[in-house]
């Protein structure tokens, strides 16, 4: 048995019970966020940061914390995220550390929480920042068919990660500010990403695609990256269920999004670990040596499935898969430390393609990235999944 799996299997996992009853998922989500706020007294410190950064992780966890505020009505959660936004955005709406000329689609994602902050506070600087991010999308470099490059420094490449980073913000902006002509462009992003990353042999979506086929990680014929990184597919499915909140039901192409989501759900269900209920870091490699059950992909899939079932996007039979996933996360990844704080364990810290040092997308590469506790890319989706799980109990 490999070392990582041994750690996973035999680490002290504290199940959270009140008497003999499993703890309420909303209470569990609130405790996890309270623990995060204790670890990071200032929201800019989230994601293990030591200096200010406009970052997609702050946006993801920030949305989850605002969801906790809406659930509880406790203003401390709003104040926590508002303080981050006020630190990062000046009165002119200029965003610290952000450079539009980088054309980094990751930098769009934090804009989503600004919609809610603007609704609550009415601060015009938030609207100005929102408009700036929208402007980036209007000039963002694209593939020959119109798909957003992941970053300017990653030319001709679409990553599944990027669909979550850009599309939900784009869709909410279009819906709020009356740009119905943009919905076709948003749908096109998912169609292109799906078309060029889908692997019919595994019935899963690979991490990325290089239109130029120049990257060493790209298949010379199809341009696909070599493997199905779980979290990349998690980003894609979360993007689908969140974008559908804003695409009108009569919009041409909406049915295509539903088809893609159902295709993804089928693959997710097929690759769920039967025993633990969670999903592996590299999905197409199963229980190969060193592969490990991973918390961020498990949280993302669970959230996506629960929300998709609730909204009627996928069949009700997926609810069992989703609830099994949620319970597997609680059993295998949630721990309480000696300080009484909750931790989400077994999170892959980061993974990408290309760059310097070069990331070749091999199985060995994905296994080489560090594993840590309390990564926002797991915390955020788990909190949102907890709220969805609670709603599913009423169905």
DSSP single-letter state for residue 145: T
Strand, coil or helix: 15: coil
Residue 323 has pLDDT above 90, yes or no: yes
Task: Judge contact between 155 and 212, C-beta under 8 A.
Answer: yes
Q: How many C-beta neighbours within 10 Å does residue 127 have? A: 16
DSSP string, 89-105: B-TT-PBTT--GGG-BG
Adjacent-strand bridge partners of 17: 22
HSE at residue 156, side-chain half, CA atoms within 13 A, is 11
Task: Judge contact between 376 and 61, C-beta under 8 A.
Answer: yes
pLDDT tens digits for 94-126? 999 999 999 999 999 999 999 999 999 999 999
* Active site (catalytic) residues: 161
pLDDT of residue 266: 98
* Confidence band for 17, pLDDT divided at 50, 70 and 90: very low
CA quadruple 221, 225, 226, 232: dihedral, nearest 10: -150
pLDDT of residue 32: 98
Question: Looking at beta carbons, which pairs linking 196-200 to residues 24 or more positions away fall under 8 Å?
Answer: 196/158, 196/222, 196/223, 196/224, 197/158, 197/160, 197/224, 197/225, 198/263, 199/224, 199/228, 199/284
Rounded to two decimals, the pTM is: 0.94
pLDDT tens digits for 123-149? 999 999 999 999 999 999 999 999 999
* Confidence band for 15, pLDDT divided at 50, 70 and 90: very low
pLDDT of residue 393: 87
Helix or strand (DSSP H, E) at 156? none
Output the CA angle 244-137-235, nearest 5 degrees.
45
Average pLDDT value over all residues in the chain: 94
What distances in angstroms separate CA 341 from CA 33, 60, 205, 308, 334, one per listed residue? 10, 21, 36, 31, 10
HSE at residue 8, side-chain half, CA atoms within 13 A, is 24
């Amino acid at each position: 048995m490999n070392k990582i799996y041994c750690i996973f299997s035999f680490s002290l996992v504290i199940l959270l019970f009140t008497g003999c009853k499993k703890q309420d998922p909303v209470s569990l989500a609130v405790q996890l966020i309270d623990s995060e706020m204790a670890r990071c007294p200032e929201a800019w410190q989230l994601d293990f940061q030591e200096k200010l950064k406009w970052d997609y992780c702050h946006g993801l966890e920030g949305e989850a914390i605002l969801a906790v505020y809406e659930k509880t009505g406790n203003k401390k959660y709003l104040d926590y995220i508002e303080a981050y936004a006020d630190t990062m955005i000046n009165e002119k709406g200029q965003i610290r550390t952000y450079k539009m000329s980088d054309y980094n689609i990751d930098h769009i994602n934090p804009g989503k929480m600004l919609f809610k902050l603007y609704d609550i506070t009415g601060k015009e600087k938030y609207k100005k920042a929102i408009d700036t991010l929208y402007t980036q999308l209007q000039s963002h470099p694209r593939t020959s068919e119109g798909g957003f490059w992941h970053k300017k420094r990653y030319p001709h490449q679409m990553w599944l990660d990027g669909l979550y980073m850009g599309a939900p913000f784009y869709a909410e902006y279009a819906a709020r500010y009356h740009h119905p002509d943009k919905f076709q462009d948003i749908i096109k992003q998912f169609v292109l990403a799906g078309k060029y990353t889908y692997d019919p042999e595994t019935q899963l979506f690979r991490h990325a695609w290089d239109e130029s086929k120049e990257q060493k990680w790209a298949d010379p014929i199809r341009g696909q990256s070599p493997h199905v990184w779980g979290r990349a597919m998690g980003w894609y499915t979360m993007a689908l269920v969140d974008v559908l909140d804003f695409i009108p039901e009569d919009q041409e192409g909406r049915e295509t999004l539903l088809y893609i989501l159902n295709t993804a759900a089928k693959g997710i269900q097929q690759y769920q670990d039967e025993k633990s209920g969670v999903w592996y870091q590299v999905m197409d490699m199963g229980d190969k040596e060193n592969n490990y059950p991973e918390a961020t992909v498990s949280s993302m899939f669970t959230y996506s499935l629960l929300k998709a079932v609730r909204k009627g996007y996928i069949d009700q039979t997926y609810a069992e898969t989703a609830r099994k996933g949620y319970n597997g996360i609680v059993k295998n990844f949630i721990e309480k430390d000696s300080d009484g704080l909750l931790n989400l364990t077994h999170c892959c810290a980061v993974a990408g393609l290309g760059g310097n040092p070069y990331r070749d997308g091999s199985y060995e590469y994905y296994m080489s990235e560090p594993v840590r506790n309390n990564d926002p890319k797991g915390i955020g989706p788990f909190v949102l999944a907890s709220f969805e799980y609670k709603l599913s109990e009423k169905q």
